[in-house]
Structure 1
Amino acid sequence: THLKPSVTPDPRWPTEILRENRRRGARKRPRGKRAGVRNRLRARAHRAPLPSILLANVQSLDNKLDDLRARIKFQRDIRDCNLLCFTESWLNPAVPNHAIQPAEFFSVHRMDRTADSGKSRGSGVCVMVNNSWCNNANVVTLACSCSPNLELLALKLRPFYLPREFTSVIINTVYIPPQANMDTALWELHEALTQFQAQHRDAALIVVGDFNSANLKRAVPNLYQHVTFPTRGNRTLDHCYTPYKDSYKALAHPPFGKSDHAAIFLLPKYKQRLKREAPVQREVTRWTDQSVAVLQNALDDADWDMFRRSTDDVSEFTEAVVGFIGKLVDDTIPRITIKKFSNQKPWVDRTICEALNSRIAAYNEGITCGNIDEYKSVSYGVRRAVREAKRRYGKKLETQFQQSGSRSLWQGLRMIMDYRSPPSGLMSADESLANELNTFFARFEATSSSANASSTNANGAPQPPSPSALELLRVVKTKELIVDCSKKQERHYQPVRISGTTVERVDSFRYLGVHISQDLSWSRHTSSLAKKARQRLYHLRHLRDFRLPSKVLRNFYTCTIESILTGNITVWFGNSTKQDRQALQRVVRSAERITHTELPDLQTTYYKRCQTKARKIVKDPTHPNNRLFSLL
């Protein structure tokens, strides 16, 4: 409470005394918060959805410690940074961890060079974890390898705060030397990342480090690279990969000491699924024991002979009885409004909620009486309830897969993929639209006089189409693709024009699901297949988490992934490069780890498809290539 002034103001007093001072904290209008990724990170430094990361190639960490300690002490962003990832630490086992610890609230995890690397100096990676973000007891080393082609340190962390869609954070610090075999290094890194994703499907996967000339998207196309500016000279050698688009914003910081690599500060931009999608409210009936008993009494007291006497028609009788039962259900069974959040797991049911409530009650009772034994036993009951709920949900999915009805199968797929159909608006159609469609499709029955064949010059160059054929084409949807197989290899071609408009020239074209390039290479086609197949591996991992049998997993792989990899395989697989084949085979290897079964490799499938195609050609005498085959 504020005391009222006992002195009446005099207008002759100075303005400084007469002015009305507002209470502390009182403002004329409410103020908002400053926007921006950096300001949001500073507001919740250790509770961000993804960790903030400082990445740098230090080239000897020992003589950069003073610079690092100064930045941690005087720069707030570096002091609150969750992870410090350094490559080329140049450390050896003789250097203890406390000697390179920049502050007492950072824990050190490192991988020094070994004899397997074939190096006498250099190399090594180091990761420092902020204890305010994640306790050192919750850090587990998943992989620690050092080879001539790849240096990898993988840590699994369970911080104090994580969004519900993530179970942990897997940080992979990578260094690929410039003299390494890039294909071998990417293959080793792909094998490690695939194993991590198979074992920890819901973990947030982050890959950072110095890749030099290697590009991880060649081996794992479904990752996004977040460093977009040069880090050494005019080249981007330090990368950051995650499976989530726009999850980080990279900022350039000065290099450490005399290092020629710029330091990179990665600010998390990822928004939780709970904030991206609004919750959905719907009404459901609550079938309790009391409401079921009331409904049973109402059904017993009903006069069913009244419906039989009212009509002799079976349809009317059925409609009346069903409507009466529905009215009883609406009157006796209570309806409640529930709110379903986007990050809610589909297998969470009432049993888990009851187990959680019992655990809270046991904990409060244990704190009061000082006996925690009951709380421990109830905690184990929560784990059992979660396992049982997952098992029941897996049985439900398995039943829907085994049923022959397409409706139940589609419902199972919707549950797996978390598919939500977009809102569809009704289109008003009138008679003119039907007439237009009829005219469009009926034009194929019209007969046109055949044009006289014009002579062509056999000079090896592509010939322009006839003017009569050009008049039937639409310029907007027409593309020009030049495949020059002549020895002359002419590079300057006159553009094709239709009614004075130049036709767009492209270097590749998609026809019947196959990307055809002008140089007749299949790299573009295989990369699109690998990307599409890897997107479907997510759903395969989702099925594996619910402990479905291997037979169901293999059927899902055959229908959704193998059908993509082997589509028109007899056309393109024989002329594809070794690198493209390895990229596709990595997808098969990833599926083998998920299904725990042996799957046919693409080379064997290609041989079988070619043999089947050859048998069909031999048995068909009307086939144009029948004369090219002869039985042995």
Structure 2
Amino acid sequence: MLANVQQSLRNKVDELQANVKFLEEYKNACLLAITETWLKDHDLQSDLRIDGFGEPVRLDRDPTVTGKSLGGGLALYVNRSWCGNVIVRESLCAPDIELLSVSLRPFYLPREFAQLFVTLVYIHPKANVDNAVRAITRTVLQLQALSPDAPNFIMGDFNNCKPGKHLGNFHQYVTCATRLNTCLDLCYGSIKGASLGASDHNTVYLVPSYKSVLKRHKPERRLVPVWTEESIGRLQDCYACTDWDLFKNSCKTVDEITETVSDYVKFCEELCDMGTYKELQKQVRKEIKLAKQQYKDRVENLFSTGSARPAWEGVKSLLVTQPHKSNISLNVMSDHDLANELNIYSDRFNVHDFSNELSAFMSAAPVPDSTVTVHVDQERVQRVFQRVKERKSPGPDGIGGRVLRNCAEQLAGIFSFIFSWSLQTHSVPRLWKDSIIVPVPKNKCTKTLNDFRPVALTSLVMKSFERIVKDELMNTVQANLDPLQFAYRAGRGVDDAIITLINMIVAHLEEAKSFVRLLFIDFTSAFNYETKHIHQHDKDETMARLSLLHTSSCAYALLPRR
């Protein structure tokens, strides 16, 4: 409720109390926003209380600032059943504007919002409009910096001020005259859409029409298999009774045995799930049959008691079918074209052939004294499979984390054989190279291909294989790593880097006439910038310059000796 009470709120408290008691619109209102309260410092909060609402958040006019002893003043009542957390963010009393901003955290708020802001404004008819607009804009920017996604509402008596064009994406909700033929009491908000109920010069009734994301989107149904102890036991027995030597002897290549074993693992999983699915389907059919019988008995009971109308309605609900509504989504680009465009865009930097650079690097690299051999035994594969999370989504091979974790003992033998074969032949199965790429939007409004982040869903078996190889590589190169490297190393983090840096600084500053210079550089995709119309001999130099120029942050500090 937005009201301009005029000539003191003290005379209107009893009327507001009666409206809250007998009118549902006032009783269920979340906020009572009141302008021109004409209150003074000696007016007690206890005299202004309204049942069901907390004590008003006030901003009384300061005569020493405005030069006026009467008029003005703002007050905001918050319904206790709607919100109990109110924080004053801005309180401004100036010659041209009176402004009061609060942040609210209601008991129920859509999940996409952390809080909401409400700003109450009073601008007298002879105020400087430009100064008032600058004050409102400055407050809005401060609130948006505090919480960019929070809904922001600005309401009050604006008189001759129209700040709409300075508020950017804000929408004005009041569209009818609030005093004679003019609209003086306005309400701006960052949420588009509001319905106006009743209004006059004193009161504006606004009904919100925003719907949360959960209510706007239709519910999506997914079939999730329920694994019981019985189904897990059947699956383990199925793998334990399998003659894996048959796969080893019949397959001639790594790709062939990988695809065959993966298909067999999925087949056994579906076979064990099918028994549980049939039992549940049988139980559902039994319950449906029982419900139909009960409904039939109820309809017959209505006919026998003489209630013909509800009985015929029940019969019509059984006979009449609703027309099927097809959901048609119109896209500017088809799914096939969008996938091709995303593939071309994501692969736009892989146009250079690095075979010459790779050959030069391999020839310059020192030859190791002994060849590192990765031993893949059954117990090691079993331990890695048991560490896989059950809720991990399967990759292109269709083997999920629940199968690998619960059947690690039965599957470790055949997969350890495949891992060893892959290392001996220096080849990775093609099935494990494929990934399911999901383009995830970076923000709410996706306009270009750069607004999508490609997220890859790879095989869990391949991830386990990579973990085994990675452990062997880390054991081999651990002694050659830089001791000052803290990123991408287990047991090290930002705290270790800070402590090491502080220790080095303090140890250096203990020397006489010493100082420390620190340079922090954070590159933003330094090697992903496109270079067009550049000659081949200038390409390396240009990429180096771009790497130094395109930085997101660069700090330089000089620490004197203490």
Q: For the superposition of Structure 1 and Structure 2, which TM-score range results when normalised by the shorter chain?
A: 0.3 to 0.5
Q: State TM-score, norm by structure 1.
A: 0.40
Q: State TM-score, norm by structure 2.
A: 0.45
